[in-house]
Amino acid sequence: MQGLDFSVVLPYLDILWIGVWWTVVLTVSAAALSFVMGIAFALVVLYAPLLVALPVRLFMWLFMGTPLLLQLFLIYFGLVQIGIDIPALAAGIVGLGLHFAVYNADIFRAGIVAVDPGQSEGARSIGFSRLQTLRYIVIPQAVRNTALPVGGNMIALLKESSVVSVIGITELVHAAQLGISETYRPFEFYLVAALLYYILNLVLEAGLRIVEKRVEAAR
């Protein structure tokens, strides 16, 4: 019986660190996209004319009802058949960002609806336009009130970023697989990758706790 030998991982640490770097880039970029698009989707569903809101609702329903892996395949391999050639990194960011944007949209929509209507009426009474009321009164409060569940989605996004390895992005799992393909030692590499994911998760959770404390202090 062959025992564990983590020394085989040492020559591949530079590849693993590259994987960590691209995992962070993917997570931060996709999280930013999911945040912005989540707010946009929520506003469209709540306030846009039905002709505009219905396609967005259909899009959200489709993305909620299909696997992330399938969505990545459609974006990266499917769009090229109609002349839209998206690089792997961009496809990964767009796929992850849109996948989590639809879940953030539901959270933001609930947060917007929960804002006291009297505040909107008060803002309109002192001359704010509808857009200004949303921008300065409603959306900031909705974002503060939904910081915790949106933060939970960001943690899930970090974990799901490993899926983009299937389209050739050298994130952490793909980097580990490169080492495995040369050493045939999957257990050691996957354990190291799991440890690195856990460390990234701890860092993200610490950052989210800081944000939550600041949000609580601002209320």
pLDDT digits (tens, 9 = 90+) for 66-88: 999 999 999 999 999 999 999 99
User: Which pTM was predicted?
Assistant: 0.91
Contact status, residue 95 vs residue 75, Cβ threshold 8 Å: yes
Any domain includes 195:
yes
HEC per residue, 168-202: CCCCHHHHHHHHHHHHCCHHHHHHHHHHHHHHHHH
Any domain includes 144:
yes
**Tally: H helices and E strands in the chain:** 10, 0
Domain coverage including residue 119: 6-218
pLDDT digits (tens, 9 = 90+) for 89-147: 999 999 999 999 999 999 999 999 998 888 888 888 888 888 888 888 899 899 888 98
The structural domain count of the chain equals: 1
The enclosing domain of 136 has a CATH number of: 1.10.3720.10
Closest by Cα among 112, 103, 115, 79 to 30:
103
What's the full length of the chain, in residues? 219
Any domain includes 1:
no
Cα separation of 75 and 65, whole Å? 16
